[in-house]
Amino acid sequence: MAVYLHEEDLPAGALGPGTVAVDTETLGLVTTRDRLCLLQISDGSGDEHLVRFGPDRRYDAPNLRAVLADPARTKLYHFARFDLAAIHHYLGVMAAPVFCTKIASKLVRTYTDRHGLKDLVRELLGKEISKQQQSSDWGAPSLSDAQQDYAASDVRYLHAMHAILVERLAREDRTELAAACFDFLPTRALLDIAGWAERDIFSHE
């Protein structure tokens, strides 16, 4: 298992075929204000690839954009809503189709209100991940080893959790409901970017 750091794009042929796990690191939580600094991606084979975008970034990244836009590749996220918005706003592609482990967790782990990545990895896989670098400066001129390992851990376990959550969704007869939620996520992300992040347009109010 290795972590590879790339500048501005993913090298051609870096990933195998099939489903990829994806995550992003930004300067903050406001998509249109806080730039995309890092995108993490893994094909589940044991390696994680980190693509860093500097302050003078162009976000061209043709190889990365091709993978993210590929309709034949399912993209695994934890809280896909945020990542989809960041990727669409800065890289100009909608990185779907989607499977969101956070939504899947909320649909099948109704016995708890703990649906964070750390909690999910601990229960489903019996592993511990550190969130110590979560609030660090992702726009710094260089990324520390601790930052790189933290970023890589955000995609490291998504394939294994996906397999377990797929089984649980089927067991509880919620596969179709989950799929409908995942299909809506690109629209939810576009609503966030367009200014409806804090308002539920489906509510009576």
CATH number, domain containing residue 116? 3.30.420.10
Residue 205 falls inside a structural domain: no
Q: Which amino acid is at 160?
A: A
Structure tokens given for 39: 């995108």
pLDDT reading at 134 higher than 70? no
User: Where in the sequence is the domain holding 156, given as residue range(s)?
Assistant: 3-196
Provide the pLDDT for residue 135: 73
Residue 203 falls inside a structural domain: no
Question: What pLDDT digit, counting tens, does each position of 86-132 carry?
Answer: 999 999 999 999 999 999 999 999 999 999 999 999 999 999 997 77
Question: What pLDDT digit, counting tens, does each position of 2-44 carry?
Answer: 999 999 999 999 999 999 999 999 999 999 999 999 999 999 9
Residue 159 falls inside a structural domain: yes
Mean pLDDT estimate for the chain: 96
Provide the pLDDT for residue 133: 65
List the beta bridge partners of residue 38. 25, 52
What is the distance between the alpha carbons of residues 18 and 142, in angstroms, rounded to a whole number? 31
